[in-house]
Chain A
Amino acid sequence: MGFRLKGFPGKGTFKRGVHPPERKNLSQDISIEVIPPPEKLLIPLLQNIGEACKAVIEPKQEVVFGEKIADADGFISAPLHAPLSGKIAKFAMTTLPNGRHVKAIQIDAHKEQVSEDALWHDMFFRDWPKDVYSLFSSEEISKRIRNAGIVGLGGAAFPTHVKIKYNQKKSIDALLVNGCECEPYLTTDYRVMVEAPEPVITGALFAAMATNAGQIVVCIEDNKPLAVKAISNAAKGTGIKVAVLKTKYPQGSERHMIKAVMNRVIPLGGLPGDVGVVVSNVATIAAVARAVLYEKPLTHRVVCVTGGGIKRPANLLVPLGMSYRALIDYCGGMTENAARILSGGPMMGFSFTDLDMPVTKGTSGITVLTHDEIKRDKETACLRCGRCVDVCPMALVPARLALAARKRDVEMAEKYNIMGCLETGCCGYVCPANIPLIQLIRAGKAMVMTNRKLQSKN
């Protein structure tokens, strides 16, 4: 292990994991473009982990940019706002890439919209003072984050106000801002860090104020030197530290990042709060700055459209609710040999075929892969070679979990901690026998969950 991380308790890396081809060069040097406003948007009422929203508008009603159109229903939920001015057309149903069938609001856009330049400035080029955070109370910051409807933009879409608040039960001493973006191909967070490091720093100060965290660390992998430079410059004089971590998948998993930086291990089934840490993604933190300082809701997000199957890869600032088709069209469409469309990156992204699905708060990227990129040999028998064990970042035995799932053996699945699986895909990436390990493990997890529910009923 030649990797060293100075100034932190951790080693800058974690055990096991894999090195898939990064291919970030497809889009990493392309500046964020603001996509021209579309004619219509379809906004799903469920865009976060937790409860779906309740619509607060009626069809035929006029809405303006930033107006609340649906309110949070419950604590773990986040409101929705109109990403442009228009008229509510109707309620419709849509299916999200993860397979959930949800209610959605369709908005027909007005001809007149905020110009692209104005939108860009509104999002990232405001004044980001670094000395006003102490003027806000913890409650005020959390309230503004909640009102802005911010959820984790790294992909998980967990409501941010639930994390960034003063926690009476667990004392938090560190805020880690996640700029690792270990998922291959994607450059969403990278472009945000390079082009808009100021709101990230300001937002981090607010988040630390709200959580009462004494130290703030922005974590970036060592394959992103420009991002390290931009963030370090912006952070000057604030006391915020930058941890440059080893490029390895899944370095951006919060468990592995906390281990790499703080040398703390989250108990199985626990959360970062259990070890005194709050983790939030860079783009989320930038949205926090905007929400707290200017009370602006989350209506747009940066989406990286990339992969060998995209004619002109790009990083786009997109209104929520725009269709995947519109984004791919804007990028010149797909190439002849495009074979798979993903919401997210190639290691953990969901594949889908319905291009009319809308972009949601959790859409961290669109990756279109070619036949060559998804090439996979036929499945053969498990040789018990143990490669899956050697790479599993959770130190599980994927081959056993898959076997338990195949045999529908709940006891064995539980014994080998199937619920500890993060579905990072490391095992499936290396398996010499091409066994669909993650798919089997997912089925096994569903089986275990059903069984637990049945048992708690009895």
Chain B
Amino acid sequence: MTESSTRDIRTDSETNIIQVISVASSPHLKNLSLSSRKMMIDVMIALLPVMGMAIYMFKWLVVKQLIIAVGSTLSAEAVFTKMRRKSFSLPDGSAGVTGLILGLSIPVIAPWYVGVIGSVVAIGIGKVIFGGLGMNIFNPAMVGRAFVMIAFTGVMAAAGYENKHIAVDAISMATPLDAFKQSGFVTPLRDLFFGFTNGSPGEISALACVSGGVYLCLRRTAAWEIPLGVILSASVMGLFSDMIHPDVPFTFLHHLAGGSLLFGAFFIATDPVTSPISKKGRFLFGMGIGFILMMLRFFSGYPEGVMFAVLFMNAVTPLINRWTIPKTLGT
């Protein structure tokens, strides 16, 4: 074996060629079409119809709100990770997604500082304090939203969505759930379906939420078990209520299409970090959200309950994980 065609792995000083042979643990193949970053980009793509409908209804107001929210989450992420001397994490896209979700879930006419404070709290308290992406217990966007909702009750409550003096028509209306709660007015299903209504910019159109959401589920970036659980349990509760009060014109379909149920089911509850890891667990998680949000809609002073439902179920997620350990093959 003098004329070896296999080049030696060690440095070959005569030809000065170094062939680098690496060793690593198996598996040696990796499916490159799956990465955390691609999952985040998927969410952004899925939000396009939602953002499109929001811009159609609220014009430049929603653009401004999104720029504020995304700009603040990105800056907050950069500053906080720098403070914690962690590696630069903006390219993973998660802060951008948090900004978009937050921006789409606060009223478009809320003052600029609401978006900024919400974003800083979302990233700082919602995520970085727990150890960054993957370690947080609560959905960061919902933590930020809950903070501003309590801090700025006036601008975040139902009335915060209405302003008669702004040239955008939709804003002169009450949100569908509030209109019904306050005055018994039932927004037509057609308007709820297409999104010709007032509300948080992300939630207005059922069609946009479902089309983006189905894309996410097909890409398997979102676990389909979660929206299925939410919609199923909310429908069952809605139908139950319809049976008890057959005379109330606000049916379970209005409940599904109105408010942020679908936006929450497809885009907020499906955050993988804060939802259970097994299929069964995810379904239970979704059912829990649907149940709590309908209870809040029926019995609480708030017209809407998605945020609290998601935050509550986030807190229960470790428990669900413990109850739903998949059964190992052969046990």
Contact = CB atoms under 8 A, between A and B. Distances in A.
Contacts of A329: 1, 4-6
15 contacts: A39-B1, A328-B6, A333-B7, A336-B19, A347-B26, A351-B24, A380-B37, A384-B275, A386-B282, A389-B279, A389-B326, A432-B34, A432-B36, A436-B25, A439-B24
A11 interface: no
Given A383-B273, A433-B36, A326 B1 contact: yes
Contacts of A21: 29
Contact of A340 (B6, B21, B135): B21
Contact of A267 (B20, B36, B330): B330
Interface stretch (A83-91, A145-153, A229-237, A423-431): A423-431
A422 B301 CA distance: 54
B8 to A, nearest CB: 8
A58 B128 CA distance: 67
Contact of A387 (B34, B37, B328): B34
Contacts of B133: 380-381, 383
A268 interface: yes
Nearest to A420: B328
Contacts of A434: 30, 35
B178 to A, nearest CB: 35
Interface stretch (A25-33, A124-132, A213-221, A395-403): A395-403
A396 B326 contact: yes
A417 B328 CA distance: 7
A289 interface: no
A21 B9 CA distance: 27
Give the one of B36, B275, B278 with max A CB within 10 A: B36
Interface stretch (A65-73, A277-285, A367-375): A367-375
A90 B16 CA distance: 35
A76 interface: no
A352 interface: yes
B327 interface: yes
Nearest to A426: B27
Contacts of A429: 27, 29-31
A276 interface: no
Contacts, number: 186
Given A268-B328, A334-B19, A389-B326, 20 more contacts: A18-B31, A39-B1, A270-B330, A329-B4, A333-B4, A333-B5, A338-B21, A339-B21, A339-B22, A350-B26, A351-B22, A373-B28, A374-B29, A374-B30, A377-B32, A380-B92, A384-B272, A384-B275, A387-B220, A429-B29
A349 interface: yes
Given A338-B19, A340-B28, A351-B23, A394 B273 contact: no
A332 B36 CA distance: 40
B278 A369 contact: no
B193 to A, nearest CB: 31
B30 A353 contact: no
Contact of B6 (A259, A266, A333, A381): A333
Contact of B28 (A267, A351, A381): A351
B85 to A, nearest CB: 16
| Chain B at the A interface: SS class | loop
B186 to A, nearest CB: 39
Give the one of B20, B220, B282, B325 with max A CB within 10 A: B325
Nearest to A424: B27
Interface in B291-330: 325-330
Interface of A: 18, 20-21, 39, 184, 255, 259, 265-270, 325-326, 328-329, 332-334, 336, 338-342, 346-353, 355, 367, 369, 373-377, 380-387, 389-390, 393-397, 399-400, 415-417, 420, 423, 425-426, 428-434, 436, 438-439, 442
Interface string B24-55: 11111111101111110000000000000000
Contact of B329 (A268, A353, A376, A382): A268
Interface in B234-258: none
Contacts of A20: 27, 29, 31
B224 to A, nearest CB: 12
B277 interface: yes
Contacts of A442: 25
Contacts of B28: 340, 342, 346-347, 349, 351, 367, 369, 373-374
A340 B272 contact: no
A448 B37 CA distance: 34
Interface string B160-193: 0000000000000000000000000000000000
A438 B21 contact: no
Contacts of B21: 338-341, 353
A348 B1 contact: no
B134 interface: yes
A60 B51 CA distance: 83
Contacts of B132: 381
Contacts of A325: 1, 4, 6
B9 to A, nearest CB: 5
B278 A397 contact: yes
A440 B239 CA distance: 48
Those 9 A-B pairs whose CB atoms lie nearest each other, nearest first: A425-B27, A381-B134, A333-B5, A439-B25, A268-B330, A385-B272, A351-B23, A346-B28, A432-B34
Interface string B122-135: 00000000001111
Contacts of B331: 267-268, 417, 420
B223 interface: yes
Contacts of A395: 326-329
Contacts of B36: 380-381, 383, 432-433
Contacts of B5: 329, 332-333
A184 B29 contact: yes
Nearest to B282: A386
B329 A265 contact: yes
Interface in B186-202: none
Interface in B251-299: 272-273, 275, 277-279, 282
Contacts of A349: 26, 28
B29 A347 contact: yes
Give the one of B6, B37, B220, B325 with max A CB within 10 A: B6
Contacts of B37: 380
Contacts of A415: 325
A144 to B, nearest CB: 33
Contact of A438 (B19, B26, B134, B273): B26
